[in-house]
Structure 1
Amino acid sequence: MQIKENIRCIIVDDQMFAIKILEGHLVHFPTFSIDYAGTDIYEALRIIDSSKIDLVFLDIQMPDMNGMQFLKLCKNKCKFIFTTAYSQYAIEGYEHDVVDFLLKPITYERFKKSILKFNQHTNIANTAERDETKNEHILIKGDAKQKYHKVLLKNIVYVKGLDNYISIQTIAGPIITYMNLKDLIALLPSTRFCRIHKSFIVSVDYINYVDKSAVKVLNEIIPIGLSYKKNFFQLWETKLNRAMICPKQL
């Protein structure tokens, strides 16, 4: 396989929040750089025409032009990974040799598989993940005075859904933002965070006690929803096996 130290990417979507999710996922791969991330599909076309872009993350449903039209205009100048909330475009996309097709909300684990597919398509090596023990963070939309909060993953204790808002409980205190749990869980690594209830996401690193129906996270007792039990206990068992310890009981 050839080794390429800098894989140049473009992210195009009509929603800035969707762009932020992909940017957050891509920072885990140090050999990938982002030349453009935005909503202007014509600016993206201009950059592709004037630069050597390797990979485009493209939303299929754009206001001025759909993904298939965009792809045809690029004339095989780069590889594409389609992102969308609609699965009906998948077959047509693969007919055009699209690397992958990501359904929103895009989790980190699913995103990582797309990067591996890109490696195989292009015969490129040296696209290893960044060490997850380094300074990881997510960007959360703030209020008018502070556009975004930079939140370190290691500081997140749990998250509670509040109708159209969520409260992110960190070790420094809560952050309230207009967002939903479904979108947030897509930003978080599945090895460290788990949705255990329709209203709660928890960091497994902060769990003190576990029983069949609830967990204790610091001083909070949080219920485990029936439909979330299987996934949570699989993750909890994996954590225990790695740590070589036994769970305590509430």
Structure 2
Amino acid sequence: MIRCIAVDDEAYAANILADYISKVPFLELVGKTTSPIEAINWVQEGKVDLVFLDIQMPELTGIQFLKLCGSKCKVILTTAYPEYALEGYEHDVVDYLLKPIPFDRFLKAVHKAHSMLQRQQETVPAGISSKPEYAPAAAPVPEYMFVKGESKNKFLKVAYNDILYVEGLKNYVSLYLPGQRLVTYQSLTDLAGQLPQPPFYRVHRSYIISIDKVSMIDGNTVYIGDRSIPVGETYREEFLNMVRETGRV
């Protein structure tokens, strides 16, 4: 689990982050606070892997917080002021969330943090503990995701195992499930970052497939049920090499 804290001088904003954290299976909320000083103590005590940090706070700014303990944990900045983004990235933050924060944008940021923390553990030199005090325990792979529904604050829970394939069209994607099609406002590239690989692979600029649902591959075409899906030239070699090497099909 990735141990998280939410830090914002406005209690309602910290509560929203805490609620979002509770919805993600590989995140654990260890605290929420309106005091950056209290948050620094939690980080220094080794209780935190990931901090959701407001930038503008009267007691201590988010940038000052980063300078004090940004090397001891990963940080996702939250603010209503986009002009602070560049300065935040100069301090090697994971991501920058602009308020009000949509849940799908929150999900994208935490998946990015998850990947970064996993890589951090995998690259620890031999002879050094692979679990420094601020590193997370191995996080379980989530079995589902949330996608935006047709209204502003509606999100649909979709089990990964139910997804046959995904088709992208500009800023929309269609998720095809047995007997069902879900359409959500999101780019295919963003969605690809949320889907675990394997079993999901991008095989075309417009398609992501679940390799577990493939019934046949014939040349440059993949078959899932009665649907044929083209394998794009850009993705063909890598995809076919994966199939040959892993023997998944």
Please classify the TM superposition score into its range, dividing by the shorter chain length: 0.5 to 0.7
Give a deviation string over 1:88-147, Cα, whole Å, max 9, x none: 977x647xxxxx8579873965552145569746257882343x5xx7100111122871
Any idea what SS the aligned residue of 1:174 has?
strand
The residue identity in structure 2 corresponding to 1:80 is C
1:56 is matched with 50
- The equivalent residue for 2:25 is 27
1:163 to 1:152, Cα distance in 2 relative to 1, 3 A: same
How many residues are treated as equivalent by the alignment? 210
1:142 to 143, 149, 160: 149
Assess if the C-alpha contact under 8 Å between 1:165 and 1:177 holds in 2. Answer: yes
Equivalents in 2 of 1:24, 1:113: separation in Å?
24
| RMSD over aligned Cα atoms | 4.4
2:211 is equivalent to residue 204 of structure 1: yes
Matched AA of 1:81 = K
Separation in structure 1 between the aligned mates of residue 189 and residue 221 of structure 2, nearest angstrom: 21
Q: Structure 1 residues 193, 218: CA separation in 2 closer, same or farther (over 3 Å shift)?
A: same
CA contact (8 A) 1:107 1:185 kept: no
User: Normalised by the size of structure 1, how large is the TM-score?
Assistant: 0.63
TM-score under structure 2 normalisation?
A: 0.63
In structure 2, the partner of 1:9 is 4
In the alignment, the residues of structure 1 paired with residue 87 and residue 179 of structure 2 have an alpha-carbon distance, to the nearest angstrom, of: 44
Please give the residue correspondences for 1:173-192 in structure 2 after superposition, counting only pairs within 5 Å.
173-192=180-199
SS in 1 for 2:73: strand
Does the 8 Å contact 1:108/1:186 carry over to 2? no
1:117-196 equivalences in 2 (<5 Å): 120=130, 122-123=132-133, 127-130=137-140, 132=141, 136-144=143-151, 147-196=154-203
Supply the distance in 2 between the matched residues of 1:12 and 1:202 (Cα, whole angstroms).
38
Corresponding residue number in structure 1 for 2:119:
113
User: What secondary structure sits across from 2:208 in the alignment?
Assistant: strand
Q: CA deviation at 1:227?
A: 1.1
Structure 2 counterpart of 1:34, one-letter code: L
Q: Which residue is 2:225 aligned to?
A: 218
Displacement after TM superposition at 1:238 (Å): 4.1
Alpha-carbon distance, 1:67 to partner: 5.8
Q: Secondary structure in 1 aligned to 2:196?
A: coil
Q: Check conservation: 2:7, 2:34, Cα contact below 8 A.
A: no
Where relative contact order (Cα < 8 A, 6+ residues apart) is larger, the structure is 1
Cα offsets for 1:130-185 (capped at 9, x unmatched): 3x5xx710011112287111100000000011222111111240111111111111
Change (3 A) 1:49 1:175: same
Retained in 1: the 8 A contact 2:94–2:113? Answer: no
One-letter code of the match for 1:122?
P
Unaligned stretches of 5+ residues in structure 1? 1-5, 14-18, 95-99
> How many angstroms does 1:232 deviate by?
1.7
5 Å-filtered alignment, 1:28-47, equals: 28=26, 33-35=28-30, 43=34, 45=36
2:102 alignment partner in structure 1: none
What is aligned with 1:81?
74
The 8 Å contact of residues 49 and 135 in structure 2, kept in 1 or not, is answered as no
Percent identical residues: 25
